[in-house]
Chain A
């Protein structure tokens, strides 16, 4: 049995496998299938100060090897989450990461202050590609990434802050660095890549929102490359995600420099994907005589070096 525990900005996770925001709700539904307490963490559905109804349907489409979604941050609001879901989610024993979004810099400051001390970590969504007011405006330019991070950390006293980065940018390295400069305790990446899928019979995009965020197995090489670049650019921990389907995929991200990983789309393909990845990590470490999974982080050696 390998030691799968990892420490992320002072918080120890049972293992490096975290449910990605938006694919897992607040965990209740998947808990009907397996004990979600075994997961390294759960990043909640994106929360906003006020409840949101999200985008019109259809909100999802498939393309070979990937999916596109544009849910549009539908959520019951942060107060509803605190009142109805937070205690339950904590009671499962998993690490609770509140994913948050806002329209204005002040929204980010307020929602982070509200959740300070209540959750294990906060993940700042500044990269939702599907909502004009989902923070995308803050996720593109390094200057804005730094500024929104500063606002988010203004009144944060105890809870570590993860900034979730968009891949739809000029330089992932500069944006990762900007989050670090703004006071982030970690960065997570990648959020979805903006895409479009067309119903050729109707000559219209399948998704009502026209464009959607692309995720799933097909985006993995892009995500691994960006995880590597971000990890090279910053001193703070990196959480890698994008197309992770099995333990071997997760190991690629760890080697590229991630301390932990998130799994999203794979939960739709196989609802037991995460427990299988955790088991697979253990088996791989055992086979390779690795005692601590954390030893894998950043062990990639580039060719020609």
Chain B
């Protein structure tokens, strides 16, 4: 973990309301899939923006972000050459055991981007099926990455791209056909994760979910971004997560 000086190389729209920003860093950065960075947009914005790392290689790192508020609005206007501070890599990230050969990725909304990082880290050695849900055709992104998976099923809420269903339904349909993974890695809106939790617990498939929460420090000190664990305790999404075993968290 380090506060990198990051220079924007490219910052462009990749789907409706979604942008991808690529930074050149002042030093090498070792990133595990599923980790995130805390990006300072400066000015009157005292909080940094915690955003999942989508791609990282040496001194180049790409984040994809949804325009949500003033901070991301400001980030979107920043052009090549702009220098920002990015504290990273943060959080635990996804980890796949050696004996887990078949991975299912289940993602929706901006949750698809940390899953792209999984594909980039494990794509060569594992058999990966990706079940990705988008709101509509305009929101579709990352397809060129997901198509590198062994199998890619892209669906939309309105049927304007792929079948009309959500990512969990797409995963369930394939599961019924006998395509059973050793582990499921997921990221997306809470209702999606909730539906997935019910399914994988019933099926007895190990599953890890990456959670999102409003954060303060991003490093585990301020106890702002907590989630509820099934054992009655709280965990810090930024430091103990963002990836949790689905059986350990209350969604």
Contacts and interface: CB of A to CB of B under 8 A. Distances in A.
Interface string B1-44: 11100000000000000000000000000000000000010001
Given A60-B214, A61-B214, A272 B3 contact: yes
Nearest to A73: B223
A88 to B, nearest CB: 14
B214 A59 contact: yes
B225 to A, nearest CB: 7
A65 B216 contact: no
Interface stretch (A4-12, A96-104, A261-269, A291-299): A261-269
A32 interface: yes
Contacts of B69: 62
A29 interface: yes
A270 interface: yes
Interface stretch (B45-53, B96-104, B136-144, B169-177): B45-53
A29 B46 contact: no
Contacts of B217: 23, 29, 267-268, 271
Given A23-B216, A33-B1, A268 B225 contact: no
Interface stretch (A50-58, A116-124, A176-184): A50-58
Contact of B46 (A57, A65, A74): A65
B48 A269 contact: yes
Contacts of A265: 46
A67 interface: yes
A266 B222 CA distance: 12
Contacts of B44: 64-65, 217-218
Given A53-B234, A216-B46, A30 B221 contact: yes
Contacts of B2: 33
B215 interface: yes
A66 B46 contact: yes
Nearest to B218: A268
Interface in B195-231: 213-227
B239 interface: yes
A67 B221 CA distance: 16
Contacts of A266: 46
Which of A23, A24, A45, A218 has the largest number of chain B CB atoms within 10 A? A23
A57 B225 contact: yes
Interface residues of B, number: 32
Contact of B226 (A59, A62, A216, A272): A59
B71 interface: yes
Nearest to B2: A33
Interface in A262-305: 265-272
Nearest to B222: A23
A67 B85 contact: no
A240 B90 CA distance: 32
Given A65-B46, A66-B46, A67-B47, A25 B220 contact: yes
B214 A268 contact: no
A217 B43 CA distance: 11
B47 A269 contact: yes
Contacts of A271: 3, 87, 217, 219
A74 B233 CA distance: 11
Contacts of A60: 47, 214-216, 224-225
A33 B4 CA distance: 12
Interface string A73-88: 0100000000000000
A90 to B, nearest CB: 18
B47 A54 contact: no
A111 B233 CA distance: 23
A22 interface: yes
Contacts of B234: 53-54, 74
A270 B219 CA distance: 12
A71 interface: yes
Interface string B222-250: 11111100000110000100000000000
A58 B221 contact: no
A235 B44 CA distance: 36
A268 B216 contact: yes
B47 A62 contact: yes
Given A69-B224, A74-B234, A270 B45 contact: no
Contact of B224 (A30, A64, A71, A270): A71
Interface of A: 22-25, 28-30, 32-33, 45, 53-54, 57-62, 64-67, 69, 71, 74, 216-218, 265-272
Interface of B: 1-3, 40, 44-48, 69-71, 85, 87, 213-227, 233-234, 239
12 contacts: A24-B221, A25-B221, A28-B221, A29-B239, A54-B234, A58-B214, A59-B214, A61-B214, A268-B46, A268-B47, A270-B40, A271-B87
**Which 9 pairs from chain A and chain B are nearest by CB?**
A25-B221, A29-B221, A64-B44, A58-B214, A29-B219, A29-B220, A60-B224, A65-B44, A216-B46
